[in-house]
Amino acid sequence: MRGTGNSENNDVSFELPSLLAAAHELKTPLVLIRQLSLQLSDPSVPVTPELNHRLRLTTERGLRLVDGLTRAARLEDSLFDTESLEVKAICQLVAQEMRPLACELGQKLELKLPKRSLLAIGQYDLLTSLLVGLCDNALAHNGTGGQVTISTREHAGRIELAVRDSGPKLSHKQFKQLTGKLGKPQPVSGRPRSSGLGLWVADNFARSMAGRLTAQRHRDGGMTFIVSLPSSTQLSLL
């Protein structure tokens, strides 16, 4: 997943996108929902099951964005218990949840999981939301025919969960902007077309579980976002 020689890594320090940029990102699904509902009521265009399906999936995406933002804003005020999490099962669950959207967008979603169980310390809902958010982000940046791969491994005593996309290749400058090293994200786009809102939420979720989010760009195009969490030693006690 990392340090393969044909990619560039970076620790991530995602900054809170400006209110304007965040509003723009939240506006995108709303504009689409409005357009699809106008199409539904247009007598000249036949209503297909696909149209209803797209309407539902877009609404769910919008809700996920709002939900993530709300949770991230409340993290500092809340206390939660961490637990041992079987990350393979979480990856499978997220893949199951995101496959209908990937399929409707003409993309593939694949899992690359080890045979043995991997236990991380974290919080179930936060980690699930974090991975769903990264998948949402990946699907949004891939074109039709793109691929998203979710993988996990143990590395240096920690558990890594990675979401790779096959989106457009980023320049070094774009990559630095995305990862916040050259200052604030661009006004409307962290990665082009994005405010970086989803990544800011994911970064906050990871930090709240004593984890960190890193990013990696690939020479053959696409990005990988990696969540690293403390490993649980629960299995070694058996």
- Say whether residue 18 binds other proteins (CB under 8 A): no
Nearer to other proteins, 27 or 181 (CB): 27
Residue of the chain from 31, 63, 210, 235 that contacts other proteins (CB under 8 A): 31
Residue whose structure tokens are 């890193």 = 214
Q: What is the contact mask toward other proteins in residues 191 to 230, using x (rule: CB under 8 A)?
A: -xx-------------------------------------
- Say whether residue 106 binds other proteins (CB under 8 A): yes
* Helix-helix angle 19-40:49-74, to 10 degrees: 160
- Between CA 168 and CA 172 the distance in angstroms is 13
63 CB burial (10 A radius; 0-12, 13-18, 19+)? exposed
- Between CA 65 and CA 111 the distance in angstroms is 23
> Would you say 91 and 161 are in contact if contact means Cβ atoms under 8 Å apart?
yes
Residue of the chain from 3, 5, 44, 156 that contacts other proteins (CB under 8 A): 44
Residue of the chain from 62, 100, 168, 230 that contacts other proteins (CB under 8 A): 168
Residue of the chain from 14, 16, 21, 24 that contacts other proteins (CB under 8 A): 24
Beta-carbon count within 10 A of 233 CB:
11
User: Dihedrals φ, ψ of 97, to 5°?
Assistant: -70, -35
Helix or strand run (H / E) with residue 213: strand 212-218
Q: What is the contact mask toward other proteins in residues 61 to 100, using x (rule: CB under 8 A)?
A: ----------------------------------------
Tokens read off for 127: 């980690």
Q: Enumerate the β-bridge partners of residue 150.
A: 111, 163
Handedness of CA 15, 189, 212, 71 (dihedral sign): positive
- Say whether residue 56 binds other proteins (CB under 8 A): no
Give me the long-range contacts of 51-55 (CB less than 8 A, separation at least 24).
Answer: 53/100, 53/104, 54/104
The distance of closest approach from Cβ of residue 82 to other proteins in the complex, given in angstroms and rounded to an integer, is 38
Residue of the chain from 2, 7, 8, 32 that contacts other proteins (CB under 8 A): 32
Residue of the chain from 42, 83, 110, 125 that contacts other proteins (CB under 8 A): 42
Instruction: Tell me the site size for other proteins, rule CB under 8 A.
Output: 28
Q: Give the footprint of other proteins on this chain (CB under 8 A).
A: 24, 27-28, 30-32, 34-36, 38-39, 42, 44-46, 54, 58, 105-106, 143-144, 168, 170, 174, 188-189, 192-193
